[in-house]
Structure 1
Amino acid sequence: MRYGLSVCTLGDYADPGRVADLAQVAEQAGWDGLFVWDHLGFAFGMPSGDPWVTLGAVAQATSRLRIGPAVTPLPRRRPQVVANAVTSLDLLSHGPLTRVATPRT
């Protein structure tokens, strides 16, 4: 069985550096993965972090964690931008990027 963390990039975890620190601790503790929310809704009065930038920071801070978005709302994003982000992140992380299926709407 594998275990992973799901991180909401709102509030304190809007800071990619803080999520990268959490990822390092998780990796050292034996966790298998870390996934971040990719929701486009905003929480008013609360900071909101970009999931792809956050995953890039996690990729640089860790060496074996599987990483990826927990959900990616493709109908609300430009496919070519998501494809570029995924490809770049996969190269940056040396391949532990995990594809997560997104239901069609």
Structure 2
Amino acid sequence: MAASDQLSLVFAALADPTRRAILAELAAGDATVTQLTAPRSISMPAVSRHLKVLEGAALISRSREGKWQRSHLEAAPLGEAAVWIDRFRSLWDASFERLDAHLATLQLEQENQ
């Protein structure tokens, strides 16, 4: 799969707040579907569907331990997304610098009145 296609899958997976919450929970350690369902007001099948999307985006991996299937956070795709976003950091940094300069000018004008 091309890197840009993988990035699209990652951003699509991250677009859902439930999936972001699941990733945050998995950042603390591996978990089963039962453990991931407990703090949520959605069903196990719904959590399983979210996990399939996350797995399809390579954001998690799943392994079987006896009768339990555990989900594990895979951080590399998040790093790739962060690198892509970081390419635009200079744009918003420049915007903040212009805003700071404008606010300083307004403050000086106000003090001189």
**TM-score relative to the length of structure 1:** 0.29
Larger RCO (CA within 8 A; separation ≥ 6): 1
Larger radius of gyration: 2
**TM-score relative to the length of structure 2:** 0.27
